[in-house]
Structure 1
Amino acid sequence: DAAAGTMTVLAGTPLEVAQRAAEDAGFLLPIDLGARGSCQIAGNLATNAGGIRVIRNGVARDNVLGLEAVLADGTVISSMNKMIKNNTGYDLRQLFIGSEGTLGIITRAVLRLRPLPAGRLTALCTLGTYENVVALLRRAQKELAGLSAYEAMWESYFRFNCEAEGLRLFEATPAFAVIVEEDLQGHEAERERFEAFLGRALEEGLIGDALIAQSQKEVQTFWRIREGHALDRLPLLLNFDVSLPIGEIGRFADECGKALRAKFPEAHVSFFGHVGDSNLHIAFSVPGATEETAHAVDAVVYGLVGIYSGSVSAEHGIGLLKRDFLDRSRSPAELELMRRIKNALDPNGILNPGKVLGSI
């Protein structure tokens, strides 16, 4: 619907198919993540997927206007709303978005579209401290009207992926590498402004160096390092997805890295994340890891998340693996209310049984 700026999709539509259809019509579907070629819209919504454009366009739930879902008793709840303003009682779509299929099965959705950018500018910057990572973020949010991505990589993560890809982009591996990306409106002055922004940051010592992508191939190279598919080659890789107050992420990463390396001196431990939306990912791998190893790593990571008042899941959801750690991020009163909602909509526990809250 070009007038409403919406797209109506079936549950099984792959995200990339929906993105291309939106682009063909002159729009941007803002939901975007690395699994775009295989993930499906209903899964994106059921897990409230985040991804790389959250800093500008929000998580999945922020891009949904209407929803259809089937309840455990077969009732079809259909609210295929196309209006941005619709303040008519409880917002029922939010019951199902992020509920991981435990309250209903999403069958259709109305997604909100945005204007298609005229292009994008992408830079890869080096920084010496996490404090500078935050300072550059705040500067970018103030000076780059179209800031759409801000992705940070700690030294060990950046080094590992550059070596795996056979790349050497800087003389020495920086303490931090950040991808800054801006959506363009098509004005001639935008590139000049982007370059001036980086120039000032360089002069003031916020960044040590910067590469501005000159081609789509270079853009893909920067993102290939960030997406880190080479990590899959590591044995028994454990991935963590947590969220913390932006100002605390640097200290958390330092403390978490030291604690994990003290317990497992031979382990690969690296950090990367969206930062601009408070999301940090942790990659852990050690040869010969067992189930006990995984439990020990969980205890370290989620124990620290609780101390820092963070979230045990920024965008991956709870499922089974994080179910026992949900109380690190949610109060007893919140958990009890979740159980009451689950009991009301699915009293027999037939929808994705055991997930999120366990047996009810």
Structure 2
Amino acid sequence: MDRDILFLSSNRYGDFPSRKTRFSKYLSENGFRVVYVDSPHTYLAYLKSGFKVENRGKIEQISHNFYVLRSFPIFPFFKKYRVFNKLDEEIYFRSIVSSLKEISFKPLLIFSYLPFFPETIMHFKAKTIYDCVDDHASFGGLVNRQFVNELEKKMVQVSDIVITTGNKFLKDKLRKFGKDPIQIPNGVDYPLFSKWLQIKDTLKIKKQIVYVGAIASWFDIELVKFLLETLPDFEVLLIGFNSVDISQLLKERNIKFLGKLPQDQFAPILWESAVGIIPFKINDLTKNIDPLKIYEYLAAGVPVVSTPVGNVSNLPVYVASTKEDFVEKIKIAVNEDSIEKRIKRTLDAKEYSWEKRSLQILRIVEDLLSGHSQDG
């Protein structure tokens, strides 16, 4: 009999190589048949210029034992009002069930990243793992914080196992909701980012500061502007999807916006950069993060300077609380850096490999389905 796992993701497959895609693909390569369900989009998305979803709601085989159910539309306000949440939960459940019939898929396990539809989880009558990677109530937009927390509390309670990242605040929050979560921090494609070791004897470090990741509401534009003004001899490179106005930054002569690049293209940029930065605002959302980029920076050997967000203080990075301190920490990081220190960062970062993280997930899944318990 097929061992079927349904992955309910908060991202669309192919957007970027996330924790969700890593774990789901790994399970499909190790004895399970997996359907990865794209995060649904709301009808408001069609009001955006050029937005369209090809093959919406269609199930597509990507590789052996791995399928993707493409994004389909639901109504907005499901994170704000109960009536819309109930309506969308019904659409969400029925859309998934209808598509799964095409491949005779009957999930033994639900692996969810969405806290918004706990009733859907109960309808499937399967074992459930909830992997919480963000504080969903702290996102902006059409969100009622109290209502989202109510939904997440129920999600925790209906789940057999709760997992979260290396972030202490998220762990404490989920524990208050009724279960002690297993902590599995984010990881890195170690073979890719550590490739610089093969060219370490010829590596030339440039006077460039690099940021990789989403440029969104949590990105501190004023801090980056201050860096540009106070470190005129350094060039700042921004790599990633942009959803906010950064025109004031692009007026400066020592900045380049490279847009979204695949990992194999920005990894070499990291190798030759003087420092990697995480210039995030301090708020409830960023307090609860476990930044993927920090593991990529470290595996690439780059010194890292960050504002005090998430769990960064538990990692070997320079942490700065003010914009003046941020500049000073960049100077210190650059002055203290050496090829030997870069080699050590990279070798130590092997601990963060996705292979290691995924093996933990596989063991948890196997134990759950075999009836063994997991301790938090």
The two structures have a TM-score, normalised by structure 2, of: 0.25
More helix by share: 2
**TM-score, normalised by the number of residues in structure 1:** 0.26
Task: Identify which of structures 1 and 2 has the higher relative contact order when contacts are C-alpha pairs closer than 8 Å and 6+ apart.
Answer: 1
